Amino acid sequence: MKPASALIALTCAALTFASGGPAHAGDRVTAPEAARQVFPEFIEFLKIPNVMHLSVEDMQRNADWLEAAFRRHGFDARQLEDGETPMVFAQAADPSPDRKTVLFYAHMDGQAVFPKEWDQPDPFTPVLKQRGAGGEWSPIALESLTGSAPVDPEWRLFARSAADDKAPIMMLIAAMDMMRANGTEAAINIKIIIDSHEEGGPPTLKDVVARNRELLRADAVVMLDGPMHASNNPTLVFGHRGGMGFELKVHSANNDVHSGHFGNFAPDPSFALAHLLSTMRAPDGRVLIPGFYDGVDMNPGMKAVLAAVPDDEAAIRKRIGIAESEHVGDNYQEAMNYPTFNITSMIAGEPGSRRSIIPAFAAARVSSRTVPGTPPARQLALVRNWVEAQGYHLVDGEPTEEERLKYPLLASITGGGGMSALMTPLDAGVGKWAASAMRREFGVDPVRIPIMGGGVPTQPLANGLGAPILLVPLVNADNNQHAANENLRIGNFEAGVRTLRALFTQDLSAGD
């Protein structure tokens, strides 16, 4: 799995974003210059490992570093206790009651890493790379980012959280620096919350919001997370899928048994799981569980909005290296507006070993994304009912010996719960405000995406603050988020600084 092959296909050449030039001719400090000034700190930030389950101490170091960084750059900042490791809150000085307040959300924690899958020794030692004529990525000196020679916007910085989600945090800081350097006045009050439990550990945002409702109160929330549209044009996202995760386990013998002495006699749990899974999804990806798609709102108006998104599906297929996509919905955007049913991992026996056994069980970890009309709890109930309808007896945890001898088909489903989907109306004021700022800065209408495929923890903010929520993604779509060789395109950092400066200087009460 070479990142070169994963990335070779996408052209990040949207004109508005490839250029680093200022939109305001009078700027003394341009966005690329503001970016360059924070890159050393960005690199320092990326060097602090941020996988919650690996080290709570490292997460505390992230919070400490961030609080200090916000203060260095003129923000009021503090840590918000949340039991395990704190979140960080920051606020631009001198808020005015005459201005509307916008709360910007990002997160400091990252997904787990498997270093052997990366094309660099350590995901927490950032590597700057440039792409050769053959599409291959090769390292260049990290100092190229911070020296006086021009920075190529096509360079990429590879590290865990380089894109998801430390980059937007540093863009916030750089945008504020740029405003201050140029003497630009903000048109909104700026609040920032940096989550510490977005990717790992039990989510704590709900409690933190409940304990800090006054502090966090805002007229709108802007979530800086997720990738921009693949065209790399300015992007507004009005919602996201929710989701639930569970483990589906098929139980066979009470122990691994010898595949010679029991082959053709002991039920093979991997084949049983395969048969069960095959009843759940057609080969084209459509889920066969009755009722699974009930509540999906795919009306003609929505279809038109989705069709207007300028996706290059051939380019997406080429980027991820597939000849054909699944066929849920008529296009990529429609696909994102249906619930999913994917297996994130599957296990039977001891992979890598050649033990001649029939394993005692086979298990699949399922990630099922939801949309606003398909709540997680209902979806899980549909799955449980379906498994039972296939003749399985569902047990909690391991079956007892009595259950093993009574039921030919035994399975367990553990987990569930999950996150709600969200969609802010496409005509909400917060969307008009952001679109105006983007048009002003880049001279183009942003791409409007009703629902993006990934999840963001909007629920605690939506429920706790009662403010409308908009997602403004700033990083390149091909950032290998959550996987090996995560990276940030440098040009996106510069454009992100411009986007945030434009939002900072756009009056939320003015309307479109």
Q: Is residue 435 within 8 Å of 236, Cβ to Cβ?
A: yes
CB of 412 to a second copy, least distance (A): 15
Question: Which residue, 170 or 452, has its beta carbon nearer to a second copy?
Answer: 452
Name the DSSP letter for residue 7: H
CB of 172 to a second copy, least distance (A): 23
By CB under 8 A, the residues from 275 to 304 that bind a second copy are 275, 277-278, 280-281, 283, 285
Q: What are 254's two structure tokens?
A: 């009470």
Q: Select from 72-80, 126-134, 317-325, 430-438 the region that touches a second copy (CB under 8 A).
A: 317-325
CB of 267 to a second copy, least distance (A): 6
Our finding on whether 79 is near a second copy (CB under 8 A) is no
By CB under 8 A, the residues from 480 to 509 that bind a second copy are 480-485
Question: Which residue, 301 or 408, has its beta carbon nearer to a second copy?
Answer: 408
The Cα 89–Cα 149 span in angstroms is 35
What DSSP string runs through 66-90? HHHHHHHTTEEEEEE--SSS-EEEE
Length of the chain in residues, anyone?
Answer: 512
Burial of 53 (0-12, 13-18, 19+ CB in 10 A): exposed
Q: Select from 96-104, 118-126, 138-146, 238-246 the region that touches a second copy (CB under 8 A).
A: 238-246
For residue 117, the tally of other CB atoms under 10 A from its CB is 11
Distances (CA, A) of 112 to 117, 348, 369: 12, 22, 20
CB of 255 to a second copy, least distance (A): 5
Q: CA 300, 306, 309 angle in degrees (round to 5)? A: 145
Tokens 């606003």, located at residue: 372
Question: Which residue, 72 or 261, has its beta carbon nearer to a second copy?
Answer: 261
CB of 81 to a second copy, least distance (A): 25
Q: Which helix (H) or strand (E) holds 40?
A: helix 31-46
Question: Which residue, 215 or 347, has its beta carbon nearer to a second copy?
Answer: 347
Question: Which residue, 65 or 271, has its beta carbon nearer to a second copy?
Answer: 271
Name the DSSP letter for residue 150: P
**Could you give the dihedral angle defined by the CA atoms of residues 260, 265, 268 and 269, in that order, rounded to the nearest 10 degrees?**
-130
CB of 266 to a second copy, least distance (A): 6
Q: Which helix (H) or strand (E) holds 305?
A: helix 300-308
Our finding on whether 243 is near a second copy (CB under 8 A) is yes
Residue 66: closest CA among 54, 57, 78, 55: 78
CB of 334 to a second copy, least distance (A): 9
Residues 6+ apart with CB under 8 A from 319: 6, 7, 8, 9, 10, 230, 478
CB of 144 to a second copy, least distance (A): 26
Question: Which residue, 87 or 364, has its beta carbon nearer to a second copy?
Answer: 364
Our finding on whether 271 is near a second copy (CB under 8 A) is yes
Question: Which residue, 83 or 415, has its beta carbon nearer to a second copy?
Answer: 415
Our finding on whether 395 is near a second copy (CB under 8 A) is no
Site string for a second copy, 324-353 (x = CB under 8 A): xxx-xx--x--xx-x-x-xxxxxxxxxxxx
Our finding on whether 65 is near a second copy (CB under 8 A) is no
Our finding on whether 203 is near a second copy (CB under 8 A) is no
By CB under 8 A, the residues from 152 to 191 that bind a second copy are none
By CB under 8 A, the residues from 435 to 464 that bind a second copy are 452-455
Our finding on whether 20 is near a second copy (CB under 8 A) is no
By CB under 8 A, the residues from 364 to 393 that bind a second copy are 364-365, 367, 369
CA end-to-end distance (rounded Å), the chain:
45
CB of 118 to a second copy, least distance (A): 11
Q: Select from 140-148, 150-158, 168-176, 249-257 the region that touches a second copy (CB under 8 A).
A: 249-257
Residue 126: closest CA among 160, 174, 150, 153: 160
By CB under 8 A, the residues from 120 to 159 that bind a second copy are none
Q: Which helix (H) or strand (E) holds 138?
A: strand 137-140
Q: Select from 20-28, 180-188, 432-440, 478-486 the region that touches a second copy (CB under 8 A).
A: 478-486
Our finding on whether 205 is near a second copy (CB under 8 A) is no
Number of chain positions touching a second copy (CB under 8 A) = 104
Question: Which residue, 101 or 420, has its beta carbon nearer to a second copy?
Answer: 420
CB of 5 to a second copy, least distance (A): 5
Residue 54: closest CA among 195, 160, 207: 160
What DSSP string runs through 369-396? EE-TTS-HHHHHHHHHHHHHHTTPEE-S
By CB under 8 A, the residues from 419 to 438 that bind a second copy are none
Distance of CA 87 to the CA centre of its chain: 18
